[in-house]
Homo-oligomer: A and B are copies of this chain.
């Protein structure tokens, strides 16, 4: 008889023992397993062009233009519908990407190493605010910014990371959780910690002072600078808990704008999918819920690893961004303890007497209690090319947990 409790303990202990170090930046085609010239990675579970949401389509078009494989919307659509371009989930390549998460072979990606268990994880670079590829924008200015990030920005950061011998993202996260971040939608403290740690090495790197100034300004102004290294770190931690025989711990939760999918530690690489929810939140001036895309992005790897909405009690200021009250933030964390296996040994919440964050969703508890994992999220416009329109709260569909539990029973019981 399989000991599920013991398996879950093992899975979550492995997640918490993982120590993710940001090593370097490299071209996706050079480091991501099974990356190839005609492959685009995307957020969430598998998706076809035909079923893809507006922002996902916009990002795919932008990535093909960035790769030089298309010139405009029409030629990109012709190419992707010709069958010559493969679309596969980031998660199937040890990678994660926020929002549409589209990652193409020529993009630079962060390389994070879990030095405890040796596995690697990857994420693309964060473009900041405004018209950005991850929200489905693909205009010339978007592509130009990507090119700058892919060359000057990546080069200076890479020189700094080499001089620093890597950066411990778990330690950075532990610190930022004591500074009002929850690590998903609020990464203000983490991003300036990141900028501050890189700055002394960027200044000594090879390059022009003007470009170094631009890089430091960009890192400091973008309160999401560290989101992508954090996501790769969470992926490295969650993957460390994946593949434990008999475990009902969720190790992936991700959305592509159409479907949300989860994976479970003891159920291999099978996806359990259902329709994404519509986020409930605050909208930027001039936008409303009518403009919102369905829930999208791999950034729920943060909740999967025990931070994000699960750590909202430590980030009461976030409610000015995602809606709600500080009490809601507190109660969200308290509720997540009901469906998780452990309290994190490294990520603690001062306001709760330094209690560890709720970590490791047990799909048994989700189904039994009817409590779904809470998600903090940015909200994309439903049309390609527009960008972010707000931020809020959303839940995964219950069927993914029920389906996974049935599959678990069929396999093990």
A212 at the interface (CB under 8 A from B): yes
Q: Give the contact-size bracket for chain A.
A: 35 or more
Residue A398 is within 8 A (CB to CB) of chain B in the complex: no
Using known A-B contacts A196-B192, A203-B213, A204-B210, determine if residue A178 contacts B317 with beta carbons closer than 8 Å: yes
Partner of A325, one of B192, B210, B353: B353
Q: Which residue from B175, B181, B209, B354 sits with its C-beta under 8 Å from A203?
A: B209
Q: Which residues of B contact A317 (CB under 8 A)?
A: 178-179, 350
Shortest beta-carbon distance from A226 to chain B in Å: 12
Report B-chain residues with C-beta under 8 Å of the C-beta of A199.
Answer: 195-196, 199, 203, 216, 220
A213 to B216, CA, bound (A): 13
Q: Mark A245-269, 1 if CB is under 8 A from B, else 0.
A: 0000000000000000000000000
A9 within 8 A of B: no
Residue-wise, chain A 160-197 has the 8 Å CB interface mask toward B (1 for contact) of: 00000000000000010011110000001100110111
* Contacts of A205-239 to chain B: CB distance below 8 A: 209-210, 212-214, 216-217, 219-220
A304 CB, nearest partner CB in chain B, Å: 25
* B188 and A200 contact, CB distance less than 8 A: no
Tell me the nearest residue of chain B to A352, going by C-beta: B326
CA distance A192 to B353 in the complex (A): 25
Q: Which of B193, B217, B350 contacts A319 (CB 8 A)?
A: B350
Cα–Cα distance between A8 and B179 once the two chains are bound (Å) = 34
Contacting residues, chain B, for A217 (C-beta < 8 A) = 200
Q: With contacts A326-B353, A351-B326 known, is A213 near B201, CB below 8 A?
A: yes
Let me know if A18 is at the binding interface, CB within 8 A.
no
Whether the pair A203, B216 counts as a contact (CB closer than 8 A) is yes
Q: Is A60 an interface residue (CB 8 A)?
A: no
Q: Does A46 contact B (CB under 8 A)?
A: no
Whether A213 pairs with B204 at a CB distance below 8 angstroms is: yes
A195 to B192, CA, bound (A): 9
Residue from the list B175, B188, B197 in contact with A220, Cβ < 8 A? B197
If the complex has contacts A178-B180, A180-B180, A192-B192, are A351 and B351 also in contact, measured as CB distance less than 8 A? Answer: yes
Residue A316 CB within 8 A of the other chain = yes
**Complex CA–CA separation, A209 to B326 (angstroms):** 44
Query: Which residues does chain B contribute within 8 Å of A179, judged by CB atoms?
Result: 179-181, 188-189, 317
Q: Does A202 contact B (CB under 8 A)?
A: yes
Once bound together, how far apart are the Cα atoms of A316 and B179, in whole Å?
10
Q: What would 10 more interface pairs be, CB under 8 Å, given A192-B195, A326-B352?
A: A180-B189, A189-B192, A192-B193, A196-B196, A203-B213, A204-B212, A320-B350, A320-B354, A326-B350, A351-B351
| 11 A-B pairs in the complex with CB atoms less than 8 angstroms apart | A179-B181, A192-B193, A192-B196, A195-B196, A195-B199, A200-B216, A200-B220, A203-B212, A204-B212, A316-B350, A326-B353
Q: Which residue of B lies closest to A219 (CB)?
A: B196
In the complex, which residues of chain B have a beta carbon less than 8 angstroms from the beta carbon of A213?
A: 200-201, 203-204
* Distance between Cα atoms of A101 and B217 in the complex (Å): 33
Q: Mark A312-326, 1 if CB is under 8 A from B, else 0.
A: 000011011000011
